Protein backbone atom coordinates (compact mmCIF):
# COMPACT_ATOMS: atom_id res chain seq x y z
CA UNK A 1 0.00 0.00 0.00
CA UNK A 2 2.85 2.39 0.85
CA UNK A 3 4.12 1.79 -2.68
CA UNK A 4 1.29 3.99 -3.88
CA UNK A 5 2.41 6.95 -1.76
CA UNK A 6 4.40 9.62 -3.62
CA UNK A 7 5.50 11.34 -0.41
CA UNK A 8 4.42 12.04 3.17
CA UNK A 9 3.13 15.60 3.44
CA UNK A 10 2.57 15.69 7.23
CA UNK A 11 3.68 13.05 9.69
CA UNK A 12 1.70 11.91 12.73
CA UNK A 13 3.58 14.13 15.19
CA UNK A 14 3.23 17.23 13.05
CA UNK A 15 -0.51 16.56 12.71
CA UNK A 16 -0.84 16.09 16.47
CA UNK A 17 0.91 19.40 17.18
CA UNK A 18 -1.37 21.20 14.75
CA UNK A 19 -4.56 19.59 16.10
CA UNK A 20 -3.58 20.60 19.66
CA UNK A 21 -2.90 24.16 18.48
CA UNK A 22 -6.33 24.39 16.79
CA UNK A 23 -8.01 22.91 19.89
CA UNK A 24 -6.32 25.56 22.05
CA UNK A 25 -7.64 28.35 19.81
CA UNK A 26 -11.15 26.85 19.85
CA UNK A 27 -11.08 26.45 23.66
CA UNK A 28 -10.00 30.08 23.95
CA UNK A 29 -12.60 31.45 21.51
CA UNK A 30 -15.54 29.48 22.98
CA UNK A 31 -14.71 30.32 26.59
CA UNK A 32 -17.96 30.29 28.63
CA UNK A 33 -19.88 28.53 25.86
CA UNK A 34 -20.59 24.99 24.76
CA UNK A 35 -19.60 24.02 21.24
CA UNK A 36 -21.06 21.32 19.00
CA UNK A 37 -18.56 19.69 16.65
CA UNK A 38 -20.28 18.60 13.46
CA UNK A 39 -18.16 15.86 11.96
CA UNK A 40 -18.60 15.67 8.20
CA UNK A 41 -18.49 11.93 7.50
CA UNK A 42 -16.43 10.06 6.76
CA UNK A 43 -13.17 11.85 6.05
CA UNK A 44 -13.26 13.97 9.23
CA UNK A 45 -13.76 11.22 11.81
CA UNK A 46 -10.16 10.94 12.92
CA UNK A 47 -9.58 14.69 12.95
CA UNK A 48 -12.82 15.21 14.91
CA UNK A 49 -11.98 12.47 17.41
CA UNK A 50 -8.53 13.97 18.07
CA UNK A 51 -9.80 17.55 18.22
CA UNK A 52 -12.55 16.55 20.65
CA UNK A 53 -10.02 15.17 23.12
CA UNK A 54 -7.96 18.37 23.21
CA UNK A 55 -10.85 20.86 23.57
CA UNK A 56 -11.22 22.09 27.15
CA UNK A 57 -14.61 23.87 26.98
CA UNK A 58 -17.83 21.80 27.13
CA UNK A 59 -18.19 20.07 23.79
CA UNK A 60 -20.68 17.78 22.08
CA UNK A 61 -20.48 15.97 18.77
CA UNK A 62 -22.87 15.12 15.99
CA UNK A 63 -22.35 13.75 12.48
CA UNK A 64 -23.61 14.63 9.04
CA UNK A 65 -22.92 12.97 5.70
CA UNK A 66 -23.08 14.48 2.26
CA UNK A 67 -22.05 13.23 -1.12
CA UNK A 68 -21.05 15.43 -3.97
CA UNK A 69 -21.57 14.06 -7.42
CA UNK A 70 -18.41 13.88 -9.45
CA UNK A 71 -15.56 11.50 -10.09
CA UNK A 72 -13.30 9.99 -7.44
CA UNK A 73 -10.95 12.95 -7.07
CA UNK A 74 -13.08 15.94 -8.05
CA UNK A 75 -16.46 17.16 -6.80
CA UNK A 76 -19.05 18.54 -9.16
CA UNK A 77 -20.61 20.93 -6.68
CA UNK A 78 -23.96 19.14 -6.73
CA UNK A 79 -24.32 18.09 -3.11
CA UNK A 80 -26.76 15.57 -1.69
CA UNK A 81 -27.54 15.07 2.01
CA UNK A 82 -26.98 11.40 2.94
CA UNK A 83 -27.35 11.64 6.72
CA UNK A 84 -28.65 14.58 8.70
CA UNK A 85 -27.65 15.60 12.22
CA UNK A 86 -29.27 13.56 15.00
CA UNK A 87 -30.23 16.60 17.08
CA UNK A 88 -31.70 20.06 16.50
CA UNK A 89 -29.20 22.93 16.58
CA UNK A 90 -31.40 25.92 17.44
CA UNK A 91 -29.36 28.30 19.68
CA UNK A 92 -26.35 25.96 19.50
CA UNK A 93 -22.79 27.06 18.70
CA UNK A 94 -22.00 24.88 15.70
CA UNK A 95 -18.47 24.17 14.52
CA UNK A 96 -18.34 22.22 11.26
CA UNK A 97 -15.25 19.99 11.17
CA UNK A 98 -13.91 19.20 7.71
CA UNK A 99 -10.90 17.16 6.69
CA UNK A 100 -10.19 19.27 3.63
CA UNK A 101 -11.68 22.14 1.68
CA UNK A 102 -11.21 21.86 -2.05
CA UNK A 103 -13.70 23.72 -4.27
CA UNK A 104 -15.57 24.83 -1.12
CA UNK A 105 -18.90 23.80 -2.64
CA UNK A 106 -19.66 21.11 -0.04
CA UNK A 107 -19.12 23.58 2.79
CA UNK A 108 -21.18 26.29 1.14
CA UNK A 109 -24.08 23.85 0.95
CA UNK A 110 -23.62 22.74 4.57
CA UNK A 111 -23.28 26.25 5.99
CA UNK A 112 -26.40 27.45 4.17
CA UNK A 113 -28.39 24.43 5.30
CA UNK A 114 -27.35 24.64 8.97
CA UNK A 115 -27.83 28.42 9.18
CA UNK A 116 -31.51 27.97 8.33
CA UNK A 117 -31.97 26.14 11.65
CA UNK A 118 -31.26 29.24 13.73
CA UNK A 119 -28.09 28.11 15.50
CA UNK A 120 -26.37 30.58 17.84
CA UNK A 121 -23.38 30.55 15.46
CA UNK A 122 -21.85 28.54 12.63
CA UNK A 123 -18.09 28.33 12.17
CA UNK A 124 -15.81 26.05 10.21
CA UNK A 125 -12.66 24.18 11.17
CA UNK A 126 -10.69 22.48 8.39
CA UNK A 127 -7.47 20.54 8.80
CA UNK A 128 -6.41 21.10 5.19
CA UNK A 129 -7.19 23.80 2.66
CA UNK A 130 -6.46 23.59 -1.07
CA UNK A 131 -7.07 27.30 -1.37
CA UNK A 132 -6.03 27.67 -4.99
CA UNK A 133 -8.89 25.35 -5.99
CA UNK A 134 -11.66 27.41 -4.41
CA UNK A 135 -14.73 28.16 -6.54
CA UNK A 136 -16.33 30.49 -3.96
CA UNK A 137 -15.10 32.70 -1.13
CA UNK A 138 -15.50 30.22 1.74
CA UNK A 139 -12.64 30.44 4.26
CA UNK A 140 -12.51 28.33 7.41
CA UNK A 141 -12.39 30.09 10.79
CA UNK A 142 -9.72 27.56 11.83
CA UNK A 143 -7.31 26.10 9.30
CA UNK A 144 -4.58 23.53 9.93
CA UNK A 145 -2.46 23.60 6.78
CA UNK A 146 -2.83 25.30 3.42
CA UNK A 147 -1.70 22.74 0.85
CA UNK A 148 -0.97 22.70 -2.89
CA UNK A 149 -3.30 21.07 -5.38
CA UNK A 150 -2.42 17.43 -4.80
CA UNK A 151 -4.70 14.56 -3.91
CA UNK A 152 -4.03 13.56 -0.32
CA UNK A 153 -5.00 10.48 1.68
CA UNK A 154 -4.61 9.17 5.22
CA UNK A 155 -5.64 10.47 8.66
CA UNK A 156 -9.25 9.66 7.71
CA UNK A 157 -9.07 10.74 4.09
CA UNK A 158 -9.60 8.18 1.37
CA UNK A 159 -9.23 7.32 -2.25
CA UNK A 160 -12.09 4.97 -3.16
CA UNK A 161 -12.47 4.20 0.58
CA UNK A 162 -8.84 3.05 0.96
CA UNK A 163 -5.97 4.60 2.94
CA UNK A 164 -8.09 6.12 5.74
CA UNK A 165 -6.08 4.26 8.38
CA UNK A 166 -2.71 5.80 7.54
CA UNK A 167 -1.42 7.78 10.56
CA UNK A 168 0.12 10.40 8.27
CA UNK A 169 -1.18 12.57 5.43
CA UNK A 170 0.36 11.46 2.16
CA UNK A 171 0.15 12.26 -1.52
CA UNK A 172 -1.03 9.49 -3.76
CA UNK A 173 0.95 8.71 -6.89
CA UNK A 174 -1.11 10.13 -9.78
CA UNK A 175 -0.87 6.84 -11.69
CA UNK A 176 -3.03 5.28 -8.93
CA UNK A 177 -6.06 7.33 -9.99
CA UNK A 178 -5.26 8.35 -13.56
Which residues bind to Mg ion, rule: CB under 5 A?
A: 40, 43, 99
Residue from 19, 26, 94, 152 binding ligand IMP (CB under 6 A)? 152
With contacts defined by CB under 6 A, name the span among 26-34, 83-91, 116-124, 150-158 that binds ligand IMP.
150-158
- 129 near ligand IMP (CB under 6 A): no
State the nearest-atom distance from the C-beta of 67 to ligand IMP, in Å.
9
Q: Measure CA 91 to chain center.
A: 23
With contacts defined by CB under 6 A, name the span among 18-26, 52-60, 104-112, 114-122 that binds ligand IMP.
104-112
- Helix (H) / strand (E) element for 10: namely strand 5-10
- 104 near ligand IMP (CB under 6 A): yes
State the angle between helix axes of 45-54 and 12-29 in degrees (0 to 180), rounded to the nearest 10: 60
- 48 near ligand IMP (CB under 6 A): no
Residue from 15, 19, 92, 105 binding ligand IMP (CB under 6 A)? 105
Please confirm whether the linkage preceding 42 is cis (ω < 30° from 0).
yes
Backbone angles phi, psi at 62, to 5 degrees: -140, 170
In 3-state terms, what secondary structure has residue 67?
strand
Nearer to ligand IMP, 36 or 101 (CB): 101
d(CA 25, CA 22): 5
Nearer to Mg ion, 40 or 59 (CB): 40
Active-site entry in 50, 102, 158, 162: 102
Has 102 been annotated as catalytic? Answer: yes
Contacts of 59 (CB under 8 A, 6+ apart): 34, 35, 36, 37, 52
Residue from 157, 166, 169, 170 binding ligand IMP (CB under 6 A)? 157
Selection from ligand IMP, Mg ion, none that 144 binds (CB < 5 to 8 A by kind) is none
Other Cβ atoms less than 10 A from the Cβ of 107: the count is 22
Amino acid sequence: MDNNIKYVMYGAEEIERKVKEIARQISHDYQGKEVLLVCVLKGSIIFTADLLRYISVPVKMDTIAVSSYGNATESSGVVRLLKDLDEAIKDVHVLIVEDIIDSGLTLEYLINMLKQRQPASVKVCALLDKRERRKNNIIADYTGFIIPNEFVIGYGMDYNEDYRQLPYIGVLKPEVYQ
